Amino acid sequence: MRIGIVNDLRAACEALRRVVTSLPDHEVIWTANDGVEAIAMAKRDRPDLILMDLLMPHMDGAQATRQIMATAPCAILVVTATVSGNISLVYDAMGYGALDAVDTPMLGPAGEVTGAGALVEKIGTIAKLVGATVDPRRGRRAAQSSTPPRLLVVGASTGGPKAVSDLLLPLPHDWNVAVIVVQHVDVAFAPGLAKWLGDRTGRPVRIIEHGQQPAAGDVLVAGTNDHLVLTKGRALEYRQEPREVFFRPSVDVFFDSVAEHWPQTGIAALLTGMGRDGAKGLLKLRSRGWHTIAQDEASCVVFSMPKAAIDAGAACEVLGIDQMSRVISSRMPV
What's the Rg (C-alpha) of the chain? Answer: 21
Residues 6+ apart with CB under 8 A from 143: none
Q: Is 233 exposed, middle or buried (0-12, 13-18, 19+ CB in 10 A)?
A: exposed
Q: Which residues carry out catalysis?
A: 157, 184, 277
- Are 119 and 102 within 8 A, CB to CB? yes
